Structure 1
Amino acid sequence: MNINPSKDRKAIRLQFTVEGARFSFSPLPGGKWDNKRDRQLVAAIATKIENDILAGNFDLSLERYRHKLSAAQNPLPEKASSRICWLELWDAWVASLDLPISTAADHYACVRAMIVKSENPPLDNIEWLQVSKLAASTFNRRLSMLRSCLLWAIDEGLAKANPLKKIRSRLTTEQERQLSDGKKTPFSDLEIQKILSHIDRFYPTYAPFVQFLLFSGVRTGEAVGLTWENVDLEKRLIFVKQSISRERGGYKKIQKNPKTRDSIRTLRMSDRVFALFGSIITENACGLIFKSPKGQIIDHGNFRTQCWKPTLSALGIPYRKPYATRHTLLSQALESGLSVPQVAQIAGHRDGKMILQHYGHVINQSQLPE
């Protein structure tokens, strides 16, 4: 089901049918069709409705889908004032970026949550950031975002000084570096066999999903969002067009396009992927290919805690996130002799830079002379 916003004389309207019932409403008060951000926001609400219908969680009252005006839409003082606090400034800056809803729900939402948890301190208060117990990489990313926010505020005349100049980036500790490297370690062939065997025995509903992750190298959200309409068994092709992920810090599922335009890609099935689809396809198959034990959209958190973690723990395999299945396939592809551009195409990267950066050790492995 695709729900597309339509132009109305006074608003942007959504029209769709659920189980024979016709719905038509305007989710954004005062939304203008000529305003790009308003159209994007309504389109994001339409996506949420589509996801809820798929998951069987559709709100018949429509209240869940009516947008409430946020602090970002309220005007800030025209000139810098000590009365402006972090939350108002952050919301205004994020609104100015005109971000896709899925991007705004990622690290931007996490920074906002930090500010709210700190009870919205004034701009000259940076202690809430200094005492945060974040890994170096996460801290540095959020510090960079906050610096950009303040530079924008100074340019707009909303702030006079940048108190973040006093904060330095954090250095990655050896423990963090080892932990990060360990999470990216590909699974060995023996580990893969053990994982597949264990999940097939104890978590059979998730077995095809895990097989596909290990055999295809797609992102977890791309596997979750894959539909039968995007698979051509006759030509043995997979069309990766969307990804479904969970909002950080919440339980909303966000449907979005893959990370880059080039990521909307076509993959040719290997024999084992073709055999996998052949074993699970049913007559008149449609909609999502992989579902939870309750027949709904796979929830990343539930899959990780109910199936993935227990499996690795039971097998004595050092924990890696489900994303490590992607590292495993891409490493195998390089080891098998595929070129960097070919592997980049499989991964959905614009070019081979990311492949060389993350998998150069695989490509450049030295071999002792005969």
Structure 2
Amino acid sequence: MAKGKVTVERIKDTIRLRFRVDGKQQAFYPGLGYTSDNLLRAELLKRQIETDIDTGEFDRTLKRYKVDKPKDNKSLLTAFESFTAYKTKRVEQGTLYKYWALINILKNSKLGNKCYLSVTEEDAEKFVLKLLENAEPITVKDKVCILGACYKWLKAPVNPWVEAQNLIKVTPKQPRDAFSKHEVNMIISEFEDWYPHYLPFVKFAFQTGCRSGEQVNLTWGSISTEFKTCWILSTKTNKARRIPLPENLQELLKHIKPSDAKSTDLVFKTFEGHKVNLNNFNNRYWKVVLETCSIEYRPFYCTRHTAATRFLEAGVSPVAVAQILGHDIKVLMKNYANLIDCPELPQMF
């Protein structure tokens, strides 16, 4: 290599400058990612180093050639809004409400205007204590965990929300009971009499244990042509899974599928043909049916807990149940350790 000659190289996604000084080869990383803009900056840096070597003014500490990273002055609110935008197509609608609620809190908090890199553990602690004045510990912990995930996504050098989680003591609550088979049949009967349009939606939920957000987004392209299996892509875990459909659901789906259905059409729709809004469904139909049947209120997603319970009671393998529900096997075993195993899914109605 000629005297003062500097070569610009790409090492993975970063730029490296290689040159020789006093017979010794140098490999220098100026702190630039490999982009078209940074290549222009690297070219200028290359010329400066070549000139310094030729004139004997080369800085052997290399400090002169280090590129200062631009300061990130985004406020916590702005940073979290960017994180929410990133999450919009990656989480279920119900989960997004939590992000939007947190945005509103930050808008009304002085902390929201502070640069996110300047937020200290003391700031986070004060924020948590303020939230605990008006909200349940479990709700506050959820918000703090989301903020922690935001900092992880931002690749912030320090995450003040990790330690803040330890301030929140959540008292374990008794889990909601699964619906009994008698209650399931009462609910189905009531929907059949008064809201038959939503009967397939309810039956599918009880039989498969799908997450509500997965079910409202289900399209006909996800149902096999023989109606024997259903392919689910979870917005929560970003993983796909296959659910075997028992005969009762196969017949149900055959019956409700329009002759001109496209693969992208939703399986379950409102009366008007729109996507089901879970809040509206819960308030207008689900709550009314439970009240009419004198059944203790449990949210619609409790159909998932009911399916898991009934599957395991019938002897379906915990591994199979975890796969069908899209659950982590450890979580399943922890929550349903007293239940056991069978080769087929039981019919729920």
Q: Is 1:280 the counterpart of 2:280 in the alignment?
A: no
The alpha-carbon deviation at position 355 of structure 1 amounts to 1.3
Aligned-pair CA distance for 1:141: 3.0
Return closer, same or farther for 1:282/1:169 CA change in 2, 3 Å cut-off: same
The 5 Å alignment of 1:1-370 reads: 78=71, 86-88=76-78, 90-91=80-81, 94=83, 101-103=89-91, 105=96, 107-118=98-109, 120=112, 122=114, 123=119, 124=123, 127-132=126-131, 133-146=134-147, 168-173=166-171, 177-178=173-174, 181-182=175-176, 185-234=177-226, 236-241=228-233, 257-262=234-239, 264-286=240-262, 287-349=265-327, 351-363=328-340
- Aligned AA (1:218): C
The whole-number CA distance in structure 1 between the counterparts of 2:207 and 2:156 is 50
Residue 111 of structure 1 deviates from its aligned partner by 2.6
* Alignment CA distance shift 1:131-1:238 (3 Å): same
Whole-Å separation in 2 of the counterparts to 1:108 and 1:191: 34
Residues 134-184 of structure 1: CA deviation (Å, up to 9, x unaligned): 322221232244457679999659x9xx6996885332346xx13xx12xx
Paired amino acid for 1:352: I
Native 8 Å contact 1:216 1:273 kept in 2: no
- What SS is found at the alignment partner of 2:242? strand
Structure 1-normalised TM-score? 0.59
Shift of 1:131: 2.8
SS of equivalent to 2:338: helix
Code of the aligned partner of 1:215: Q
SS where residue 266 of structure 1 aligns? Answer: strand
Q: Is the 8 A contact 1:215 1:272 kept in 2?
A: no
**What is the rounded CA distance, in whole Å, between the counterparts of 1:151 and 1:347 in structure 2?**
28
Q: Which has the higher contact order (CA 8 A, sep 6+)?
A: 1
Distance in 2 between residues matched to 1:267 and 1:166, nearest whole Å: 39
Instruction: Work out the CA distance in 1 between the residues paired with 2:195 and 2:161.
Output: 52
Q: Residue 147 of structure 2 contacts residue 161 of structure 2 at CA under 8 Å; is this kept in 1? A: no
> 1:210 Cα shift?
0.5
* Separation in 2, partners of 1:112, 1:265: 33
User: Unaligned 5+ residue runs, structure 2?
Assistant: 1-34, 37-68, 342-349
Question: For residues 167 and 130 of structure 1, do their structure 2 counterparts lie closer, same or farther at Cα, with a shift above 3 Å needed?
Answer: farther
Give the whole-Å Cα distance in 1 for the aligned partners of 2:184 and 2:146: 38
Aligned residue pairs total: 260
In 1: Cα distance, 2:292 partner to 2:330 partner: 37
Whether the aligned pair in 2 keeps the contact of 1:130 and 1:167 (CA below 8 Å) is no
**Which residue identity is paired with 2:181?**
D
For residue 329 of structure 1, report the CA deviation from its aligned partner.
1.0
Deviation at 1:363, TM superposition (A): 4.1
**Structure 2 length as normaliser, TM-score?**
0.63
Deviation at 1:280, TM superposition (A): 1.7
Whole-angstrom distance in 1 between the partners of 2:293 and 2:108: 39
Q: Residue type matched to 1:285 in 2?
A: A
Let me know the Cα RMSD of the aligned residues.
3.7
Residue type matched to 1:111 in 2?
L
Residues 267, 346 of structure 1: 8 Å contact kept: yes
CA deviation string 1:317-348 (max 9, x = no partner): 11111111111111111111111111111112
**Separation in structure 2 between the aligned mates of residue 154 and residue 261 of structure 1, nearest angstrom:** 21
Task: Please tell me the residue identity of whatever aligns with 1:170.
Answer: I
Q: What is the Cα deviation at residue 219 of structure 1?
A: 1.2
Sequence identity of aligned pairs in percent? Answer: 27
Write out per-residue CA displacement over residues 195-223 of structure 1, whole angstroms, 9 at most, x where no aligned residue: 01111112121111011111111111221
Cα distance change, pair 106–354 in 1 and its aligned pair in 2 (3 A): farther
Query: Counterpart of 1:195 in structure 2: which amino acid?
Result: I
3-state SS in 2 of match to 1:232:
coil
